[in-house]
Structure 1
Amino acid sequence: MKREDMIARLDKTFDVVIVGGGASGLGVAVDASSRGYRTLLVEAHDFAKATSSRSTKLVHGGVRYLEQLNFSLVTEALRERGRLYRNAPHMVGDLPFIVPRYKWWEGPFYGIGLKLYDALAGRLNLERSRQLGRDATIQAIPNVHLDGLEGGVMYHDGQFDDARMAIALARTAVDHGAVVVNRMKVVGLVKEEGHVVGVELEDAHTGDRRSISARVVVNATGIFSDTVRRMDDDAAIPMIEPAQGVHLVLDHSFGPGDTAIMVPHTDDGRVLFVIPWHDRVIVGTTDTEMDHPDLEPRALPEEIEFILRNAARYLEREPTHADILSVYAGQRPLVHKGGTGEKSKAISRSHEVVISEAGLVSIMGGKWTTFRQMAEDTMAQAILVGELEDRPCVTEELHLHGYLDRDDPAMPEGHVMRQYGSDAKAIEALVSEDASLGEMIHERLPYRGAEILWAARCEMACCVEDVLARRTRALLLDARASIEAAPRVAAILASELGRDAAWETSEVAAYTELAEGYLPAS
C-alpha cells in the first residue's frame, strides 16, 4: 500500500468517495469496496490521526449502558464485538475484567447485570461471567486494594490496538480494489444542479489540486463532521458535541496481571478502567464536554488528577505524576439529533446517518466496536442517494487483512508481531536481508527497525509522527523514549523515502514538540 501507487489510481470518477480516514470512513471503504463499488477514501492528515487512535483499546458492548437500560445499543455492540473477534483474530483478543466488590449487595447487583450482558451477546459471547471470592479476586488482580474487599465479578470483553486496526481496514479496502490516500484534503464539494457530485482535493505534500466526480459522497470525519456539512450548506445546524476522554499510561508493574479492572462508579459517577495493554497499563477515562473539536487535544490538569485519585483507590500502590509514561486525550463525536443549540440537548451515544438536501451522506457518532454496522447502515443510504446497483453487504464474515486462524501455528507470538498477522513473515524477511533492521529502536520500546521500514514501504507512513504515534504505538507506550528514538526513525524513513538530512532534522524537531504534549506538565 504505497501512496504514490494510490495517487496514480486517482481517476476522475468513482461510485463512492469517502471523506475521513478514521474508524467510520475506513469501515465504509471496506463495505463499499467489498461490494464491488469503485471506492475512494481521502484523509486530510493520517489514518486514525484523531479520535480513532485515542480510544480505551476495547472492543466492547458497553457495560455502563446496561445501567441506563439501553439494551439495543448494548446488543448491537456485543454482536459486532463477536464478529470482529472472528474476522480479525490476529488483532482482537479476549480480555477478562473484574469488578471488585467492597459491599455485600454488589455481588448480586453486578452478577445479574453481567449475566444479562452474556445473554444479550447470544452465540457471539466470548465467555460467561462468574462470581469470584476474595482469594480468587486477589489472585487474579494482585495489586487490587485489599481493605474491605469481599470478592469480585469476572466478565469478558475484547481488546485491540485501534491505530493498527485502522491500517488493517485500509489495507483490506485496498485488497478489494479501493483507493485510499492520506494527506489528501477535501477543500470543497462539487455540485451540479444543487446536488453533490464530487470533491475538490488538495495534496498536502505538493499543493496540487484536482477534482474527483462521485455518484455519492460520504462525510465520515468524526468530530469534524459539521465542517464538511457546512461545505455543503452554510446554514447547516451543528450536530456534533466533542466529549473528551483522557487516559494515562503506566508501567506494567501497576497492572493487574493479565486481567483488567472495571470500576462502575468513581467519585463523580464515571466508569474507570485499569487495563493491561502492550505490556503497559492504561487507566481512564474521563468524559468532559468541549467547546470545539481539536485535532491534538490535551488533557486538562483536573482530568489527570481525577484519574490518579480514583485509580489509587483500587491499586495497592498509588501512581503519581512521575509514574506517567504518556497521557493521551481523544474527543468522542456525540450527536445532537436536533442540533447542539436545542435546549433539551438530547445526546445520542449511537450513530446517526444524515442526508442533506444536496445528497451529502454524513455518518456521525458511534464507536470503534460498531464501525462495521455503521458502515452497513451508511451504505444502505449511499446506494439510494447515488442510485447505485443494489449489492449485498458481505462484511459480517469478511476476514480483515492479515487474517490467520486463532490456532494457526503461523500466528505470530507477542503483542507487536501478532498485529501484523500473515504479514509478519514479510517483516522478518526484511531482517534476514539487513540484520541492522533487527535492532531495537530504543531499549524501552518493543519495536525494531524492520517495523519502521515496513510502515514506510507498505503502510503509507510519511513522517516520524505516523510511525511513532500510529504504525507503532511508541508515543503512547513511553513518550520520552519515543522522543529519544525519533532520530533513528527519521534516518530509516529518509533512506526509504528519499529525503535529505534537513528533512530528518525538521522531522525530529516536529515530533519532539508533538510528543512533549503527551507528558504531564512538570
Structure 2
Amino acid sequence: MDRQKNWERLQQETFDICIIGAGASGAGSALDAALRGYRVALIDRGDFSGETSSRSTKLIHGGVRYLEQAIKKLDLAQLRQVRHGLAERRTVIRNAPHLAHPLAILTPVFSWFEGMYMTVGLTLYDFIAGHDAFPKGRWLKQAEALDKSPMLTRQMHSAVLYYDGQFNDARYALALTHSADEAGAAVVNYVAVTGFGRENGQLKTAVATDQLTGETISIRASVFLNCTGPYADAVRLLANPGLEPRIRPSKGVHIVLPRETLQSDYAILIPKTKDGRVVFAIPFGDKVFVGTTDNDYSDLTEEPVLEPDEVDYLLETVRPYLAKMPERSDVQAGFGGIRPLIVSSRADTKTLLRDHEVEHDSESGLLSLLGGKWTTYRLMAQDAIDRAGELLKKTVPGRTETHYLVGGEGYNLDDWKQLQSKYKLPEDVCQHLMRTYGNRAGKVAQLTKVQPVLAEKLTESQPFIGAEVIYQVREEMAVTVRDVLARRWRLELSNWQLTARLTPQVADLMAAELSWSETHRTSQINAYQSLLATFTKQAGLTSEQSTLAAN
C-alpha cells in the first residue's frame, strides 16, 4: 500500500463510494465495493482499526449470551444474531486462515444442574451452527477438564467444553484494507473529514485533512458511507445537524495476565458475574486476556483506558474459577474499546442489541453503517454496499464470501519449515512470520537477504525481527511507532514495559526507511513512551512498572 500514491488519487479521482472509517465495517465495505467494480476511497482519521476494531476480545462467535437471552425472553432478534454470527464464523476463518482459527473454551460449573443447563444450551449452540468444521462440545468430568486446563479450581463439579473462533483483530482489519487496496481502492490512513461540500443539499465532496502534513483536499464521490463505529454520530451530525443521535457508546476493557495463569490452550468462559454479564479468560500468544466489562461511556474525545476499579472487577470475577488466584501485581497491561451500540428503549448496555443497521439520510444523502460486531462484519458490509449500489443505480452482487484476504490463499502453517530452510531464521521467527503474514511471509524474510542485520530479533523474548518493520512501512502503510507496536504487532496490548523498551529500536528502523529527522524520531519515542507510562499510572499499577514503562 503506497500512501503517497493513494493520497494523490484522493485528489485527482471522482469515486463512486467514499468510505469514512477503516475499522472492520469500513475496511470490509471497501473490499466488498472494490470487488464489485465500484471506484472506492477508504480513509480513516487514524490508523487502520486504530480504535474499536483492534480492541476486541479476539473472538469470532455467535454469542452464547445472546442465545441464553433469546431463549429466556423468546427474543427472535437475538436468536437471529446468533444464527448470523455462527454462519459467519467459518467464513471469517476460511478467508484468512493465518489470522483466525477455532478455539476450545471450557465453562467450569459447580453443580450437576448447572452442568446440565450449560450442556443443553451449548448443544443448541452447536445445532444452530450446523455442519461446519468446528468440533462439537461436550460435558467433561472434573478430571478431564483439569487435564485440559490444569489451573482450574478444584472446587468445580465439572466443565462444559465448546468451540468458537479466535482471531488477530487488528491484523484481520489490516488484511481487509490491504485486500481492498489490491482490488483497486484508494486507501489512506490518518486522513480526517472536517466538513462536506453540497449541491442541492446532497453531499458531493468531503473536506479531508492529512493528519501528518496538515494538507487539506476535497474528495469527490457519489456516495459517502459512514463506518466510524462509536463515532458515527459525529459524522452524521457533520452531514446533517438536525439528526438525532443513534449511538450509545459502551466501554469494555481487558486485563492481561501471564500465560501461566491458565497454562493451557483452552480458554475459559465465566458464564455469570455479579452484574449479570459473561467474562472470558483467553490465551493469546504468551499472555492471557481477561474481559470484558460493559459500561456507558460518554467522553469520545478521550481514549478508553484501563482503570483501577476495572482491574479489581476482572480479577475478582476470574479468581473463583482458578486454583491459583491472580493478583494485581500479575497484571502486565490492558486495553479498552468502545462498542457502537444502537440506541433503543432497552434499559442498559448489556441488553442492547449489537445487530447493525444501514441508515440513509435522504436530506444529505449520507449512508451510515451503525452497530454490529466483528463476527458479522462481512454481512454488515454487504448490506451497506447493496444499499450504496441502489443509490448509485448500479447494483452488482457481492463476492466476498469466498474471497481470500491478503496472506490467506494456500496458507499452510507447516510452510514455516521451508521458510527456515531457505532463510536460516529461527523456528519461532518462521512460525511467527507465517501466522502474521500468511503466504506473504517470504516477502518479509527476503528482506533479510538484502540486509542480513534485519534478521536479528529485537528482543530474545519475542520473535519480532527488523525486517518486519521495513515490510510494514513499505507494504502495510505503518507511519508511526504505535502503528507497528500496537497493531501490526500486538505488543502494546500484552506488555507495556517491553513495548516501551522496544520503541527506540522500532523508531530507528522507521526513521531510516521514512527519512525522519532526528527531531521527529525523538518526538515519536518520547510521545509513545509517555503514553505507555500514562496507561500504567491510570490503571493503578505499581510505581516500578510505571518507571520501567517510562524508560
TM-score grouping bracket, smaller chain normalisation: over 0.9
Supply the AA of the counterpart residue of 2:280. Answer: F
Supply the AA of the counterpart residue of 2:7. Answer: I
Supply the AA of the counterpart residue of 1:133. Answer: K
Q: Distance in 2 between matches of 1:518 and 1:34?
A: 40
Within 5 Å, give how 1:272-283 maps onto structure 2.
272-283=279-290
* TM-aligned CA deviation for residue 390 of structure 1: 1.1
Q: Distance in 2 between matches of 1:448 and 1:367?
A: 33
SS at match of 2:103: strand
CA gap 1:344/1:489 in 2 versus in 1, 3 angstroms: closer
SS at match of 2:277: coil
**Other-structure match for 1:355:** 360
Contact 1:255 1:280 in 2 (8 A): no
Q: Distance in 2 between matches of 1:302 and 1:402?
A: 40
Contact 1:242 1:292 in 2 (8 A): no
1:396 matches 2:401: yes
Q: What do residues 446-487 of structure 1 show as CA deviations (whole Å, max 9, x unaligned)? A: 311111111111110111111111111111121111101111
Within 5 Å, give how 1:79-478 maps onto structure 2.
79-147=87-155, 149-294=156-301, 296-337=303-344, 347-357=352-362, 358-387=364-393, 389-405=394-410, 407=412, 409-410=414-415, 414-415=431-432, 417-478=434-495
Contact 1:336 1:345 in 2 (8 A): no
SS at match of 1:153: strand
Which structure: greater helix fraction? Answer: 2
Supply the AA of the counterpart residue of 1:86. Answer: R
SS at match of 2:504: helix
Q: What do residues 200-225 of structure 1 show as CA deviations (whole Å, max 9, x unaligned)? A: 11111221111121111000011110
Supply the AA of the counterpart residue of 1:347. Answer: L
Supply the AA of the counterpart residue of 2:149. Answer: I
CA gap 1:119/1:92 in 2 versus in 1, 3 angstroms: same
Contact 1:44 1:185 in 2 (8 A): yes
Q: Distance in 1 between matches of 2:255 and 2:348?
A: 34
**Other-structure match for 1:488:** 505
CA gap 1:301/1:28 in 2 versus in 1, 3 angstroms: same
Q: Distance in 2 between matches of 1:292 and 1:416?
A: 38
SS at match of 1:213: strand
Q: Distance in 1 between matches of 2:328 and 2:470?
A: 34
SS at match of 1:410: helix
SS at match of 1:238: coil
Q: Distance in 1 between matches of 2:533 and 2:470?
A: 24
Contact 1:218 1:360 in 2 (8 A): yes
Contact 1:97 1:154 in 2 (8 A): yes
Q: What do residues 308-334 of structure 1 show as CA deviations (whole Å, max 9, x unaligned)? A: 111111122222222111111111011
CA gap 1:295/1:399 in 2 versus in 1, 3 angstroms: farther
* TM-aligned CA deviation for residue 61 of structure 1: 1.0
Q: Distance in 2 between matches of 1:335 and 1:303?
A: 24
* TM-aligned CA deviation for residue 410 of structure 1: 2.9
Supply the AA of the counterpart residue of 1:382. Answer: A
**Other-structure match for 1:77:** 85
Q: Distance in 2 between matches of 1:506 and 1:441?
A: 21
Supply the AA of the counterpart residue of 1:90. Answer: H
Q: What do residues 150-208 of structure 1 show as CA deviations (whole Å, max 9, x unaligned)? A: 21111111111111111101111011111100011111122111112221111112211
**Other-structure match for 2:60:** 59
Contact 2:98 2:434 in 1 (8 A): no
CA gap 1:513/1:59 in 2 versus in 1, 3 angstroms: same
RMSD: 1.9
CA gap 1:321/1:200 in 2 versus in 1, 3 angstroms: same
Supply the AA of the counterpart residue of 2:366. Answer: L
**Other-structure match for 2:7:** 7
Contact 2:107 2:160 in 1 (8 A): yes
CA gap 1:513/1:408 in 2 versus in 1, 3 angstroms: closer
CA gap 1:345/1:62 in 2 versus in 1, 3 angstroms: closer
Q: What do residues 65-109 of structure 1 show as CA deviations (whole Å, max 9, x unaligned)? A: 111112100000111111111111111111100111111102221
CA gap 1:344/1:181 in 2 versus in 1, 3 angstroms: closer
Higher alpha-carbon deviation: 288-297 or 87-96: 288-297
Which consecutive unaligned segments of at least 5 residues does structure 1 have?
A: none
Supply the AA of the counterpart residue of 1:146. Answer: R
Contact 2:109 2:159 in 1 (8 A): yes
Q: Distance in 2 between matches of 1:515 and 1:370?
A: 32
Q: Distance in 2 between matches of 1:120 and 1:355?
A: 32
* TM-aligned CA deviation for residue 409 of structure 1: 4.5
Contact 2:410 2:439 in 1 (8 A): no
Contact 2:15 2:220 in 1 (8 A): yes
* TM-aligned CA deviation for residue 404 of structure 1: 3.4
Q: Distance in 2 between matches of 1:355 and 1:173?
A: 24
Q: Distance in 1 between matches of 2:68 and 2:465?
A: 44
Supply the AA of the counterpart residue of 1:385. Answer: L
SS at match of 2:163: strand
Contact 1:198 1:216 in 2 (8 A): no
Supply the AA of the counterpart residue of 1:166. Answer: A
* TM-aligned CA deviation for residue 436 of structure 1: 1.7
SS at match of 2:219: strand
Contact 2:481 2:524 in 1 (8 A): yes
Q: What do residues 364-421 of structure 1 show as CA deviations (whole Å, max 9, x unaligned)? A: 111111100000011111112232x111100111111111345475368635531210
Contact 1:440 1:449 in 2 (8 A): yes
Contact 1:326 1:478 in 2 (8 A): yes
Q: Distance in 1 between matches of 2:344 and 2:28?
A: 22
Higher alpha-carbon deviation: 403-412 or 74-83: 403-412
Q: What do residues 242-279 of structure 1 show as CA deviations (whole Å, max 9, x unaligned)? A: 11111011111112411000011022221111100012
**Other-structure match for 2:46:** 45
* TM-aligned CA deviation for residue 230 of structure 1: 0.6
TM-score of the pair, normalised by structure 1: 0.96
* TM-aligned CA deviation for residue 514 of structure 1: 1.8
Contact 1:133 1:150 in 2 (8 A): yes
**Other-structure match for 2:547:** none
Supply the AA of the counterpart residue of 2:518. Answer: A
